[in-house]
């Protein structure tokens, strides 16, 4: 039996070409194992947003391929969805893609005596995120200090 990390990598190798052939991006993949019920959650994305038809189409194709490959040795429920409006920013490219957008982030350790920041992405280069904070002006945050970050929906 494969460990979860290797299994996720193998699933990603199998499903990524299918998702990309539909003009979509594999945003994230999670295998949640628990008791007698496991979940394989696939998050897809595309410019302009994901439709219900995109999710159903990917679910049908990926489900069929995973059934044929038979690499998941337990019963699981397949869920396909978009990352949502307040999507997490996971990769350096995400910070570049969403330049000009407002994000909320937390750090592994304090910077200027704070671990949580909300601001507009001004720039991302040389492994450094530049945020424009509402009250405190610009701040430079080293990428490796970022614990998690999400888009902040402004109403």
Residue 110: CB atoms within 10 A of its CB come to: 10
Q: How far apart are CA 61 and CA 24, in angstroms?
A: 13
What CATH number does residue 20 fall under?
3.30.300.70
Across 8-127, where does the E strand assignment appear? 25-32, 38-45, 76-81, 102-111, 114-125
User: 104 and 47, same structural domain?
Assistant: no
- Residue 46 burial (C-beta neighbours within 10 Å; 0-12, 13-18, 19+): middle
Output the pLDDT for position 37.
80
pLDDT computed for residue 143 by the predictor = 97
The residue ranges of the chain whose pLDDT is under 50 are none
Same-domain check for residues 67 and 134: no
Which pLDDT score, from 0 to 100, does residue 135 have?
A: 86
pLDDT for res 74: 81
pLDDT attached to residue 85: 84
- Same-domain pairing of 67 and 21: yes
CB 130 within 8 A of CB 140: yes
The domain in which residue 96 lies consists of 92-151
Confidence (pTM): 0.77
- State residue 130's pLDDT score: 96
């Amino acid at each position: 039996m494969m460990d979860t990390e290797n299994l996720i990598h193998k699933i990603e190798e199998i499903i990524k070409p299918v998702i990309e052939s539909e003009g979509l991006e594999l945003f994230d993949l999670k295998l949640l194992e628990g008791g007698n019920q496991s979940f394989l959650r696939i998050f897809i994305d595309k410019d302009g947003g994901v439709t219900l038809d995109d999710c159903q189409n990917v679910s049908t194709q990926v489900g069929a391929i995973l059934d044929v490959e038979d690499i998941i040795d337990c019963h699981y429920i397949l869920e396909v969805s978009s990352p949502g409006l307040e999507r997490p920013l996971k990769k350096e490219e995400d910070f570049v893609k969403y330049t000009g957008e407002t994000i909320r982030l937390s750090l592994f350790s304090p910077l200027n005596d704070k671990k949580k920041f909300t601001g507009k992405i001004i720039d991302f280069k040389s492994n450094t995120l530049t945020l424009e904070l509402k009250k405190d002006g610009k701040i430079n945050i080293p990428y490796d200090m970022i614990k998690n970050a999400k888009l902040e929906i402004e109403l």
